[in-house]
Amino acid sequence: MTDAFIYDAVRSPRGKGRPDGSLHELTSVALSAKVLNAVKERNGLEGHAVEDVIWGNVTQVGEQGGCLARSAVLASDLDERIPGLAINRFCASGMEAVNLAANQVKGGAGHAYIAGGVEMMGRVPMGSDGAAIAVDPTLAMKTYFVPQGISADIIATEFGFTRDQADALAVESQRRAAVAWEEGRFAKSVLTIRDQNGLTILDRDEYMRPGTDMQALGALKPAFKEMGEVMPGFDKVAIMKYPHLEKINHIHHAGNSSGIVDGAAAVLIGSAEFGRAHGLKPRARIRATAKIGTDPTIMLTGPVPATQKILKDSGLTIRDIDLFEVNEAFASVVLRFQQAFDVDPAVVNVNGGAIAMGHPLGATGAIIIGTLLDELERQDKELGLATLCIASGMGAATIIERV
């Protein structure tokens, strides 16, 4: 089987996902095209250089509808002979795009792919696609559906995490993100987004709040307490599924949950032959990939079984991994990962995460793979694992190895 290598990883800065956000005037297609153009230019790709563009995005309606991947290719400077595949595995869409591309290369179905994703959350509101899991009562009742914020609070209740622990993780995420930007750790990967006149629109993640402290977070009200306890009363649904809990402890709020932002990211994946043909040096080998289904009510525990599966499949142990990127969808997700594997928090999300910088749903999986690669290089480490929780109860993971 052919090895699949990462040759490049690029992303846009993450803009506030609302009308006053810097990227708000760009469409999903336009931002995707800018990222694709960067991959082309940085790596000197001409003609039908890659087999396909696999592009993840979650809310596939409006401007993100249709085959957004093909639209992005046509809007970019890539050759029109390169097709596009739009995929959706909720929050892991960008990672699944990378994993799918890697496995295509490994299987001999083309020498190279561009994979990643986009989400313009300020332009295409989350949930506006009317997903059956949430709105079809025959499915929602069968699966004991609750919103993700309730799921995050169920994790906190089930595994004993306190509001102070969640807030402390959030404060540390903000601190680490600020240090990473101050030290230029993202310089290799983050593009400067410019308008048609060449003027800078955004050159750094704008969602960050580096001055965040425990006192500021302590003043915030739990975001999901009312929907859980009052109307529509999702706590009762949760307790029907998990009667041993008796009461849900609502610890999450805007400050210890992932930010709603706009962003796009891409990873260039290819065989050794592709690299030789284009004069490119591989940066990492995609060692293993995994995905798994999990309990759809607690929903967000997927990083644990996905990591267990990928380690077993690859013959590795948790101690073999040097660095981890665990998407900070909610603080309890990361706390549960650290608890389950007894990993040192110092090697998890070294440069902060989605609590500080935001979670553009379809792009995040590709973003954290790129962030992990940059940090492995910065620290001169060998193996890294990236993983995400996924809506409706799934998990995904990727292990990369520097070469």
Task: Give the chain's radius of gyration (CA, Å).
Answer: 20
CA distances 255 to 154, 179, 211, 221, Å, are 18, 19, 12, 10
User: Is 44 within 8 Å of 278 (Cβ atoms)?
Assistant: yes
User: Is 152 within 8 Å of 333 (Cβ atoms)?
Assistant: yes
Active-site entry in 250, 252, 253, 359: 359
The answer for residues whose C-beta is within 8 angstroms of residue 361's C-beta and 6 or more apart is: 57, 58, 59, 90, 91, 93, 119, 121, 126
Tokens 């009308």: give the residue: 19
Is residue 111 part of the annotated active site? The answer reads no
Q: Which H helix or E strand runs over 287? A: strand 284-293
137-159 burial code (b ≥16 CB/10 A, e <16): eeebeebbbbbbbbbbbbbbbbe
Active-site entry in 111, 250, 252, 389: 389
Active-site entry in 48, 67, 91, 278: 91
Q: Would you give the DSSP letter of residue 232?
A: S
User: Is 95 within 8 Å of 368 (Cβ atoms)?
Assistant: yes
The SS3 of residue 106 is helix
Q: Provide the residue type at 187 as one letter.
A: A
Is residue 91 part of the annotated active site? The answer reads yes
Is residue 67 part of the annotated active site? The answer reads no
Q: Provide the residue type at 29 as one letter.
A: V
Count Cα atoms within 13 angstroms, Cβ side, for 21. 27
Please provide the DSSP assignment of 36-64 as one string: HHHHHHHHT--SS-SSEEEEE-S--SGGG
The SS3 of residue 388 is strand
E-only strand ranges, 148-240: 193-194, 200-202
Catalytic residues: 91, 359, 389
